[in-house]
């Protein structure tokens, strides 16, 4: 078992594996190490035939503040890990290292997690911001506490949506556009009404509610669960979900490249200025 530092991983005799984000001091902001830890834990749970369902949740006041924009060496930190996509290019020129990084730990991980061949659940609370959605959209069942709010503020950063672009499939195209154009928060209630969340429960019932449903799922045959998941995922993929994601990821990198040409940094200059001010103040 790897020595996890930013997550807590455990398995239960009733067939449930739990992954708990455990970086509350950083509001569970995801750096490369945390994402590799989640990916490693997903692999362990996926390869264990005793595990029928994987449950992700988070410690601290918020589920996740998104990607850790303050990560010291975003490219170098990837080289400490074995690549799962083998996309490479980390020593390349121009946008190549950044494209390789996001292809691996954002888009690549999210597609892998979505296609893990057994049911996955996520229990969210507090704020779920931008990259935080990448720990929600790829999972099969989403349980939210009443205080949960979802935000993708990447348009405020100058970009056209987070790297895993499932928004239209989660919220419908109207709400997806409103969420992105305004950078406003979407409430748990709205997300539930639109089908992006299975159930909304009081905060103090979130864990029990989620684990009770996981236990019910874990009573079923694993092979049947696997093929059921494949069948439902195929409905989205045959309707073009995968192609939509690939196109959105390319457009996302067009904007990263645009800002790199303008200012040498991959986000809108006004966003970077505000971010630096907030950090120093
Ligand atoms: Zn990006």
Q: Where are the domains of the chain?
A: 7-280
At residue 13, the pLDDT reads 97
As assigned by CATH, the class of the 7-280 domain is alpha beta
Alpha carbon of 261 to ligand 1 centroid (Å)? 15
CA of 234 to the centre of ligand 1 (A): 26
Alpha helix ranges (H) inside the chain: 32-47, 76-79, 96-102, 109-114, 167-171, 173-182, 188-193, 206-218, 222-238, 241-263, 269-280
User: Could you report the average pLDDT of every consecutive run of 10 residues in the chain (281 residues)?
Assistant: 95 98 95 96 98 98 92 91 94 96 97 98 98 97 98 97 96 98 98 98 98 98 98 96 96 98 95 86 68
The pLDDT of residue 209 is 98
The position carrying tokens 């990263």 is 256
Rounded distance between C-alpha atoms, residue 281 and residue 277, angstroms: 6
Reduced to 3 states (helix: H, G, I; strand: E, B; else coil), residue 19 is strand
- What are the tens digits of pLDDT across the range 109-127? 999 999 999 999 999 999 9
Distance 16 CA to ligand 1 centre (A): 32
From the CA of 158, how far away is ligand 1's center (Å)? 10
Give the predicted TM-score (pTM) of the model: 0.96
pLDDT of residue 210: 98
Task: Judge whether 93 and 118 are in contact, CB under 8 Å.
Answer: no
- pLDDT for 72 equals 87
Rounded Cα distance, 23 and 81, in Å: 20
Compute the distance from residue 67 Cα to the ligand 1 centre, in Å: 9
């Amino acid at each position: 078992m790897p020595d996890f530092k930013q997550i807590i991983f455990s398995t239960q005799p009733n067939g449930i594996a739990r992954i708990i984000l455990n970086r509350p001091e950083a509001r569970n902001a995801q750096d490369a190490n945390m994402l590799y830890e989640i990916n490693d834990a997903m692999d362990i749970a996926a390869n264990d035939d005793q595990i029928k369902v994987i449950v992700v949740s988070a410690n601290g006041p918020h589920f996740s503040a998104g990607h850790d924009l303050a990560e010291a060496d975003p490219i170098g930190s990837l080289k400490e890990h074995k690549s799962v996509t083998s996309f490479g290019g980390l020593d390349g020129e121009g946008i190549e290292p950044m494209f390789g990084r996001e292809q691996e730990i954002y888009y690549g991980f999210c597609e892998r997690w979505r296609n893990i061949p057994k049911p996955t659940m996520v229990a969210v609370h507090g704020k779920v911001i931008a990259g935080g959605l990448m720990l929600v959209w790829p999972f099969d069942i989403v349980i939210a506490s009443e205080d949960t709010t979802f935000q993708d503020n990447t348009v405020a950063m100058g970009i056209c949506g987070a790297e895993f672009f499932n928004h239209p499939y989660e919220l419908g195209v109207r709400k997806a556009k409103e969420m992105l154009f305004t950078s406003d928060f979407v409430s748990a209630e709205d997300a539930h009404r639109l089908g992006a969340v299975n159930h909304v429960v009081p905060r103090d019932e979130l864990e029990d509610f989620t684990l009770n449903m996981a236990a019910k799922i874990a009573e079923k045959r694993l092979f049947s669960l696997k093929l059921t998941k494949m069948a439902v995922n195929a409905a989205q993929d045959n309707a073009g979900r995968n192609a939509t994601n690939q196109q959105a990821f390319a457009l996302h990198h067009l904007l990263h490249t645009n800002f790199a040409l303008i200012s040498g940094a991959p986000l809108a200059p006004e966003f970077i200025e505000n971010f630096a001010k907030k950090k120093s103040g």
